């Protein structure tokens, strides 16, 4: 069988823990074939992000056109776009490609505090890009900035997800890694407007968590490309992310990368899933690939 093609449109990470480098590893390890479109070059390591150079719009368009003509995607993952021009170009291009599935990790700011999307592009992101996206995966600070809301409780997260769906995006996953509700659990909330679920996992005691958003979104894209249903693809991605956190190799002097390894499908890595943040929740089982 041919591997499904998954595009990643994002910036580089010279430290290898996030961005294009992380996406490529995840897509291949989970059974896809990666194709990459680079939006920016960054000089960074586990301590922080230094210099950033944005790819010229003509080069961004050239990369996209090269892939369209030869390697059409089963799924697309969007990461750091950086500039208003890049957001407009990407949105316009995706309208013509009509990929079966597109997930956007709306990268606004790095874990070291460097802004990775210019402020003038935020409205363009929500007004031009979100309406043609299947799933967005903001963390709590990103959801607050993009939606103009304050999130302090699980009810706030559910309300924020409902507001996100008014932008035209089909599904939203608000990540709870920055959460406050339960210091022992990291709880994410998924909704498509008709169905919803809370996915919770015990927090892994490690500072080596650089690139979690990139790993999760590229894993979701790959799972969808392989044929997993919407919520099942998030379960698969969460389990793979949890494995990476659990086995993080401890590289670098700062916030190091996760482990990039073949997926073990270990029961301990699967999230608990339920209708409410506080349960009762049961551990998710390994999903089967089914028609989306």
pLDDT beyond 90 at 166:
yes
50 — pLDDT class (breaks 50, 70, 90): confident
pLDDT beyond 70 at 270:
yes
| The most confident of 49-58, 139-148, 225-234, by mean pLDDT | 225-234
pLDDT beyond 60 at 4:
yes
pLDDT beyond 50 at 74:
yes
49 — pLDDT class (breaks 50, 70, 90): confident
pLDDT of res. 291: 44
pLDDT of res. 111: 65
pLDDT of res. 279: 78
The answer to whether 171 and 134 are in contact (CB under 8 A) is: yes
pLDDT of res. 116: 81
112 — pLDDT class (breaks 50, 70, 90): low
Average pLDDT (134-141) is: 95
pLDDT of res. 249: 95
Domains of the chain: 5-283 (3.40.1190.20)
Give one DSSP letter per residue of the chain, joined into a string: -PPPEEEEEE---TTSSSHHHHHHHHHHHTT-EEEEEE-EEEEE-SS-EEEEEEPPHHHHHHHHHHHHTT---SEEEE----SHHHHHHHHHHHHHH--S-EEE----B-TTS-B-S-GGGHHHIIIIIGGG-SEE--BHHHHHHHHT----SHHHHHHHHHHHHTTT-SEEEEB-TT--S-TTEEEEEEE-SS-EEEEEEEPP--S--BTHHHHHHHHHHHHHHHT--HHHHHHHHHHHHHHHHHT----SSSS-B---------GGGSPEEESSTT---EEPPPPPP---
Average pLDDT (22-31) is: 98
pLDDT of res. 292: 37
Please give the model's pTM, rounded to 2 decimal places: 0.96
Average pLDDT (152-164) is: 95
Worst-scoring range by mean pLDDT, 28-37, 46-55, 139-148, 175-184? 175-184
Does 290 or 170 have the greater pLDDT score?
170
pLDDT of res. 113: 67
In this structure, the number of other CB atoms found within 10 A of the CB of residue 212 comes to: 21
Average pLDDT over the chain, rounded to whole?
A: 93
172 — pLDDT class (breaks 50, 70, 90): very high
pLDDT beyond 90 at 21:
yes
pLDDT of res. 177: 72
């Amino acid at each position: 069988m041919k591997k499904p093609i998954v595009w990643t449109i994002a910036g580089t990470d010279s430290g290898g823990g996030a961005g294009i480098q992380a996406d490529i590893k995840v897509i291949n390890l989970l059974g896809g074939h990666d194709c990459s479109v680079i939006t920016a070059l960054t000089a960074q390591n586990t301590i922080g992000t230094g210099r950033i150079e944005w790819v010229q719009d003509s080069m961004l368009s050239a990369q996209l056109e090269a892939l369209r003509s030869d390697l059409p995607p089963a799924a697309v993952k969007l990461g750091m776009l950086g500039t208003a021009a890049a957001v407009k170009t990407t949105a316009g291009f995706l309208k013509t490609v009509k990929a079966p599935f597109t997930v956007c990790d709306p990268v606004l700011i790095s874990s070291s505090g460097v802004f990775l999307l210019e402020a003038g592009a935020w409205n363009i992101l929500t007004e031009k890009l979100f309406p043609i996206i299947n799933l967005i995966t903001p963390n709590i600070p990103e959801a607050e900035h993009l939606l103009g809301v304050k999130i302090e409780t699980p009810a706030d997260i559910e309300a924020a997800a409902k507001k996100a769906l008014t932008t035209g995006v089909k599904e939203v996953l608000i990540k709870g890694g920055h959460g406050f509700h339960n210091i022992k659990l990291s709880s994410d909330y998924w909704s498509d407007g008709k169905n919803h679920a809370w996915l919770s996992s015990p927090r892994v005691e490690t500072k080596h968590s650089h690139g979690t958003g990139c790993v999760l979104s590229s894993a979701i894209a790959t799972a969808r490309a392989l044929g997993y249903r919407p919520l099942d693809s998030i379960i698969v991605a969460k389990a793979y992310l949890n494995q990476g956190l659990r086995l993080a190799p401890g590289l670098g002097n700062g916030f190091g990368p996760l482990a990039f390894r073949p997926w073990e499908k270990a029961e301990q890595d699967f999230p608990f899933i339920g209708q409410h943040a506080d349960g009762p929740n049961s551990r998710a089982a390994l999903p089967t690939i089914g028609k989306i």
